[in-house]
Amino acid sequence: MEGEAMINFDIDIYMDALGLLQSDKTDIRAEILNQMIQGDPCVEQIGEDLHELAEELFYDPKKVDAIYGDMNCDKILSYVTIGDVTFDYGESEACGDRRICAFLVGCEFDADKWFEENIA
């Protein structure tokens, strides 16, 4: 395939403020996985974007849908690169619990690698 097909998405992770102060290091990847398992819309968004890319790249979209649909969140996350992490004031406020801090994490899903390992 020519070029790099990356699917960009954002995901909010939620952390207990006191826990953040007491911990040495937060495992952002584990927090993202937790959100994905709980049904974050990014899982569906990645699937929809893969479907569209399949059509553009002349792969069978139904096959792509089936393979992606059978993947667990841990496997999906293996194709994700984590980018910037920023405090999400609006989402933190919306939680209604001052002990909870929300962070917006920018991510990229490597569609080229996914197609190469699962379709090609």
pLDDT value of residue 1: 39
pLDDT value of residue 2: 45
pLDDT value of residue 74: 97
d(CA 20, CA 31): 13
> pLDDT-derived band of residue 81, with 50, 70 and 90 as boundaries?
very high
* Residue 43 near residue 76 (C-beta atoms within 8 A): yes
C-alpha closest to that of 108 among 80, 85, 86: 80
Segment 6-38, tens digit of pLDDT: 999 999 999 998 888 888 788 999 999 999 999
62 in any annotated domain: yes
Counting the structural domains of the chain, the total is 1
88 in any annotated domain: yes
94 in any annotated domain: yes
74 in any annotated domain: yes
pLDDT value of residue 60: 95
d(CA 119, CA 35): 27
Maximum distance among all alpha carbons in the chain? 50
* Residue 99 near residue 18 (C-beta atoms within 8 A): yes
pLDDT higher than 50, residue 116: yes
1 in any annotated domain: no
29 in any annotated domain: yes
Question: What are 81's strand-pairing partners?
Answer: 108
pLDDT higher than 70, residue 72: yes
Residue with tokens 């399949």: 54
103 in any annotated domain: yes
Segment 44-71, tens digit of pLDDT: 999 999 999 999 999 999 999 999 999 9
Domain that holds residue 100: 6-118
98 in any annotated domain: yes
* Residue 49 near residue 27 (C-beta atoms within 8 A): no
* pLDDT, average across residues 81-110: 95
